[in-house]
Amino acid sequence: MMITKKAITANEKYVITLSSVRPQRPSPSAAKAAGETTSSALSARKTGRMMPLVRLTGNNSNGRAVAAAAAPLICAAVLAAGCAEEQESPPASAKRAAPAEAPQTELARSESAKAAAPAKRQRFTVSVSGDLLMHQPLLDRALDNGGGHYDFAPFFRPVRRYIAGADVALCHLETPLAPGTPATYPIFRTPPALAKSIAKSGWDGCQTASNHSLDQGAAGIRTTGRALDRAGVAHTGSFASRRASSEPTLIRVRRGLKLGLVAYTDATNGLPLPTPWAVNLIDLGNLADAEREIVDDARKARRAGADAVLVNLHWGAENADSPSSAQVALAKRLLDANAVAAVVGQGPHVVQRIDRFAGKFVVFSEGNLVSNQSAAAGLPAATQDGLIALLRFRVGSRRTAVERLRYLPTWVRPGDYAVLPADPDADPDHAAALRASRSRTIRAAGRGNAFAPLPFD
């Protein structure tokens, strides 16, 4: 399926500012205090319309394209990140969904790519963020935000520019959206109104596969997809039909460039799949099969016309500071495949390291973007931290690859649950907590060849 960026309205401003093994599970009392549960089993946007995406992952519970006129401003803002050579993109209003393309052979795709290669190198940025976990305190706050109607958008307003300012923005929706009385731990039912707030905040698509994907059964998968469809948000990871699960997901970036998205989860909290295609599920105990399934999907996306494929995995042990040996092994296998450009993960609810294998990036865990998890809930302080990864892709005549990665450390402010850049100046009243959060995140994610935290203004 083909997904296009949404049109930019005249009164909407897009600015991206780039400024200055397995651990012990938390105690039942701590988990309950935060509304948290550990995974129990490895079992089998900002106006147009978007179709569902492809595959993803999940694991825990608690706690644009920019208009051509705006491109120079964005490039000036991200000069420090090396985006000075960015080509202007056409007005988003001129973008159209491409007709379905017949599969091509690798040779035909290669020749077509050479013929259509732009005179200048093009670059585009993909923003990927951590878990969205709407626990009861957040539901209460969202109800207050909307004056009796759920409005989650204020949570994301402080970091919106890092979402809406990217060419493609992806979120991880960990819990099902379903009508009825909202519920959190241990079986989630999140208000469908979250989908509108996701669209309003600038995300183009959401990953929906997680250990909570089946909390509301097959009906919850259907209502999640329906809510996101109505909000114009693409989605992938959980599927209402076999056909939907088999279709590769392509997101049109600009000037015919397309990003493929493939994703899986390693757990469903022991809940059985209602159908074989309901959720993309891998077993980290069987790396050969996991690699085969994921790489096959990546190749399918490439054959359908994707210039690059991003793999998203919801995986790993909750609250673990480091990925397991199985995760590292799988990441190496995937990045060895020509069809995979990068791997980004969520699931542990804390930030884990960024690494490179075969010259390609893997973000093992982005942590939580928003949740009620924190030290106050009896969980690690790092559960209040997260990061937004900004992957800069460079388009080449032979392949499109991630040439640089920057990340924004984030912190969830208690009370209003606003996601703040982890910058002491973001809120002087919480300067010490923000400074500590930024330090934790940078220590966990690291910095290295072509990847580093963003400076702040």
Q: How confident is the model at residue 274 (pLDDT cuts 50, 70, 90)?
A: very high
> Per-residue pLDDT for 334 more than 50?
yes
Q: How confident is the model at residue 337 (pLDDT cuts 50, 70, 90)?
A: very high
345 phi, psi to nearest 5 deg: -125, 155
Cα-Cα-Cα-Cα dihedral sign, residues 451, 265, 166, 419: negative
Q: Which two tokens stand for residue 30?
A: 């701590």
Q: Which two tokens stand for residue 270?
A: 């022991």
Of 10 and 350, the structure prediction assigns the larger pLDDT to 350
Q: Which pLDDT score is estimated for 315?
A: 97
Burial class (CB in 10 A: 0-12, 13-18, 19+), 147: exposed
Query: What's the rounded Cα separation, in Å, for the pair 261 and 387?
Result: 20
Mean pLDDT of the chain: 80
Residue 393: its H or E element = strand 385-395
pLDDT tens for each residue of 85-127 = 333 333 332 322 333 343 343 333 333 443 444 435 689 999 9
Q: Which pLDDT score is estimated for 249?
A: 85
- Give the residue-averaged pLDDT of 274-289: 97
Q: In 3D, which of 355, 377, 376 has the Cα closest to residue 364?
A: 355
Q: Which pLDDT score is estimated for 2?
A: 54
Q: In 3D, which of 248, 174, 246, 178 has the Cα closest to residue 209?
A: 174
Q: Which pLDDT score is estimated for 56?
A: 33
pLDDT tens for each residue of 365-399 = 999 999 999 999 999 999 999 999 999 999 988 88
Of 441 and 5, the structure prediction assigns the larger pLDDT to 441
Q: In 3D, which of 348, 215, 360 has the Cα closest to residue 298?
A: 360
Q: Which pLDDT score is estimated for 191?
A: 98
Contact 379, 420 (CB under 8 A): no
Say which residues have a Cβ less than 8 Å from residue 80's Cβ, sequence separation at least 6: 18, 455
Q: How confident is the model at residue 234 (pLDDT cuts 50, 70, 90)?
A: confident
Say which residues have a Cβ less than 8 Å from residue 324's Cβ, sequence separation at least 6: 21, 22, 284, 316, 317
> Per-residue pLDDT for 289 more than 60?
yes
pLDDT tens for each residue of 134-172 = 999 999 999 999 999 999 999 999 999 999 999 999 999
Domains of the chain: 2-21+31-94+111-453 (3.60.21)
- Give the residue-averaged pLDDT of 232-246: 92
pLDDT tens for each residue of 354-363 = 999 999 999 9
Query: What's the rounded Cα separation, in Å, for the pair 383 and 369?
Result: 9
Query: What's the rounded Cα separation, in Å, for the pair 352 and 22?
Result: 13
Q: How confident is the model at residue 1 (pLDDT cuts 50, 70, 90)?
A: low
Q: How confident is the model at residue 254 (pLDDT cuts 50, 70, 90)?
A: confident
Q: Which two tokens stand for residue 11?
A: 């009164």
Contact 29, 231 (CB under 8 A): no
Q: Which residues are 392's β-sheet partners?
A: 125, 404
pLDDT tens for each residue of 16-47 = 333 333 333 344 444 444 444 333 333 333 33
114 phi, psi to nearest 5 deg: -65, -40
Residue 143: its H or E element = helix 136-145
pLDDT tens for each residue of 174-203 = 999 999 999 998 999 999 999 999 999 999
- Give the residue-averaged pLDDT of 57-75: 37
Query: What's the rounded Cα separation, in Å, for the pair 40 and 211?
Result: 9
Contact 236, 83 (CB under 8 A): no
> Per-residue pLDDT for 14 more than 90?
no
pLDDT tens for each residue of 299-328 = 999 999 999 999 999 999 999 999 999 999
Cis peptide before 186, with omega less than 30 degrees from 0? yes
